[in-house]
Each structure stands twice: as structure tokens, then as C-alpha cells.
Amino acid sequence: MAHAQHSETRIVMGVIGDDIHVVGNRIIQLALEESGCRVFNLRTRNRPEHFCQAALEVNAHAIFVSSLNGEGEYWCTGFRARLQEIGMGNVLLYVGGNVVVGNRPESEVVALFRSYGFDRVYHQRPDIGPAIEDLFRDLTNGSTQR
């Protein structure tokens, strides 16, 4: 069910790096749209600058970055700094999927991506629901976990 109060929430989303996993990307898009968000899906094989440029063009409230092949660790380094350079430093920045290669403790992965400037990290979480709930909470509170 769509939430009318979020109908103007603009989300840029996509898969980072050379990752071509499109099914999860589409499921996330549909869930965000069903929640009432306006979604700008960059689809697969994106670089950080693609997300940043799209966020600037649509004046995004949030960016959802996903990775299934583990390339997130490489491609997401300095993501927040890139947004700050173009005046979009206050955009909510979320990352999820299998964002690193190998098995590591979730706390280590979360700390790593927080150091890159991400507000929320959903490493190997199969359900998009908590991320959407966090998004609406973060938008309502006007703050993030930063």
C-alpha cells in the first residue's frame, strides 16, 4: 500500500560496479514504489558518479546502492565525499546486499561502510522492509545515524 505522505520522496537506486544482478534491483524498485516513493532506477553496472549525478538531477532524498557480487567495498569508498563535492552531502545514503567479498562479521562490514559515509548498511539482509521503514523514520526525524 502506498503512503501518500511519501509520494514526493525521490530515491535514486542502482547496482554498483560491474555487478549485473538485476532481479533484486527490480524487487527493490517495486517495493519502494509500492511504499509511495518516486524511484529513479539506474539499474546495473554503475559508478559512484552515476549515482551522484542522478541525485543532483532529481534532487534526491536518498540513494540506495546495492551489490551482490561483493564489489561494494571497492566502489563505495569515498561515496559521501563525492556527494559533498556537488552539494548533496545531506542525501540519505544506504547500501545493501552482499557488499564485500568473503565472510566477515556484520559489525565489521557496517563499520567499514559507515566510514565511507553511508547512513545505513544492510549486509546480506534478504528483506527490503526494514530499509524502507528506516528510510521513512530517517526522513521524518530529519536525521540519520551519522
Question: Is the separation of the CB atoms in 105 and 122 below 8 Å?
Answer: no
Q: Identify the H or E element spanning 57.
A: helix 48-58
19 is catalytic: yes
Catalytic residue among 6, 19, 61, 123: 19
Residue 36 burial class via C-beta count within 10 angstroms: exposed 0-12, middle 13-18, buried 19 and up: middle
Q: What is the largest CA-CA distance in the chain?
A: 40
123 is catalytic: no
Query: Quick one: how far is CA 71 from the chain centroid?
Result: 14
Dihedral, CA of residue 129, residue 138, residue 52 and residue 31, to nearest 10: 20
Catalytic residue among 3, 6, 18, 21: 21
Query: How far, in Å, are 44, 56, 86 from residue 21 at the CA level?
Result: 7, 25, 28
Query: Which residues does the annotation mark as catalytic?
Result: 19, 21
